Each structure stands twice: as C-alpha cells, then as structure tokens.
Amino acid sequence: MSSGNIWDKLQAIDRRVFYWILFIALMIPYLRPIGFPIEINAPAKGIYDELSTVQPGEVCVLSINSGVSAWGDCLPAMVACIRMLAQQDARILVWGMGHTDIDITWQEIMDRSPELKDKVYGEDYAFFGYLPTQETTIALLAEDIRAVFSLDRYSTPIDDLPIMEDVNGADDVRLLLSSDTGDVQGYYIRQWHTKHGTPIGSIGIAMNASGDLPFFLSGDLFGLSGGSRGGAELEQLAGVPGEAITTMDAISVSHLLVVFAIILANVGYFATRGKR
C-alpha cells in the first residue's frame, strides 16, 4: 500500500465521524473533570482591577447586548462581575440592546448570584429591559436616561426608584460593562467614554478579544474579557468558581482535537502533494 492512498483514505473519512468524535470528546471532561490550571491575562485582569476599586453606592451599568445563544461565552463573565459589584454594595443598573431574550439572561444572572438575594430591587439594582441596537439611542442615554426609560422593566416610574435619585446620564455613572456579540461596545466607547469619560469594560464573545484589543491597548477600554476563557479568568480572580472553569476542561480536549486535525490535514497534504 503506497503512502499515497493512506492519505486518500484518511481524506475520504465521512464528515460525520468527526462530529461524533467531537461531541463525545466534549462530554468526557464533564464526567471526569481534569482541572488544568488557568493563567490570568492582562485584558481580564483589567476588568477585575477596575471593578475592585468601585466604592459602595457608586452606580455601575451592565448593558447586555448578547443573546442566550452566546451564554457559553458571555454569561460566566457577567455573573462574576455582578457578584463582585454586589459584594462591594455598588448600585447596579441593567438594560440591553439588540437581543429580545434579555429578560431570560438577566434572570439567569440573578439566579447564579447569591449576593443579589439580600439586595433590594429599586434601591440596590434596577432592570430596564430591551432596546433595539442603535448608536443614536446610546448617545441619548449618555445625555438623559429618562428620555429613553421613563419606566423600568416592570412599569414602575423611574422617579419612584430610589436608586435613580441622582442619576441622569453618563456623568453620574462610575463604569459601564458591555456584553457583546456585535459591536455595541464600540458605540459605548464613542458616546460614553470619548465624550463623557465613563470607563467602559467589554465582556464579549471570544472573537471580540481580537477585535476590541486595540481599544484595550489604547486605554479606551479598561478591561476586556474574551469568551469562556475570559469568564474563567474572572471567576478565578473574583473567587467565584462557576460554569466557565468547568467548561475549560472541555475546551482543552476539543482544542487538542482541532490542532491534531490541522496537523494531520497538512501532513497528508504535503505527503500527497508530490503525487498530484
């Protein structure tokens, strides 16, 4: 059997074989957790450092611009940040853009944040619900939150919420966390940070760790958590282990498979290239 047709046979393997291997490989680490150590990188450390300087009573905003479909990447980091802010008695405002399933994401964050259990809605945190994505709306929020939200998600007038007493726009906000699948964090950088100086942190899907990196290095973002890896680092830093750390083992196994597949494909390619 000349080496030529080994690679051709390997090439002809049915695609579904790979899919089964991958799906099973992803389950094994959940059955027998391995727990590889997780190193901390600067972008996620940036979020932890800024959040740990928040004083009690300071107003922080979480803008949930990622949907249920991106929970794997964004939910753990959001939970870690909210738990930190709640431990530091910050006042938390929550709204979101572009994804109509934001109610479920916020409910899930509350379920996973024991610190929120003894907080009072309307005094320690408030939820305003869905808005369509548009940079003009973000510019308006920076100037006057009440021009956009006159009622909270549960139709309580905004002025009846004690938390909103001295809060009118971006100038009264200590920092804003933006969780994204798209580029809404860019809108916040332009309309809140550049114009009002409000520090912006980005909790994004893994690709945003590349796309937003220039803004972290230029100081337009105080921190950047990319994907489940960023979530795991934040969970570890904040001392609130959760889903991201358990997912990291499955990431390790599946990433090894991908690297092995790339190497095999290229060895096969160069072995048969002489023949073609």
Q: Which of 36, 57, 159, 160 binds other proteins (CB under 8 A)?
A: 36
Nearer CB in complex with other proteins: 57/265: 265
Question: Quick one: which of 170, 162, 71 has its CA closest to 119?
Answer: 162
Nearer to other proteins, 90 or 227 (CB): 227
Check residue 275 for interaction with other proteins (CB under 8 A): no
Interacting residue with other proteins among 1, 2, 37, 197 (CB under 8 A): 37
Stretch that binds other proteins, among 56-64, 81-89, 97-105, 117-125 (CB under 8 A): 97-105
Alpha helices in the chain (DSSP H): 3-11, 15-31, 42-51, 71-87, 102-111, 114-117, 135-143, 145-148, 184-188, 194-196, 208-211, 213-217, 227-238, 243-273
Does residue 168 interact with other proteins by CB under 8 A? no
Q: Tell me which residues in 67-86 interact with other proteins (CB under 8 A).
A: 67-73
Considering the complex, state which of residue 89 and residue 115 has its C-beta at the smaller distance from other proteins.
Answer: 115
Residue 84's Cα: distance from chain center in Å? 15
Q: Is 38 in the site for other proteins (CB under 8 A)?
A: yes
* Stretch of residues binding other proteins (CB under 8 A), selected from 36-44, 54-62, 82-90, 171-179: 36-44
- Name every residue whose Cβ is closer than 8 Å to that of residue 31 and which is 6 or more positions away in sequence: none
Distance CA 174, CA 176 (A): 7
How would you classify the pairing of strands 200-204 and 223-226? parallel
Site for other proteins in 169-198 (CB under 8 A): 186-187, 189-191, 193-195
- Which of 123, 159, 258, 275 binds other proteins (CB under 8 A)? It is 258
Q: Is 272 in the site for other proteins (CB under 8 A)?
A: no
CA 221 centroid distance within chain = 14
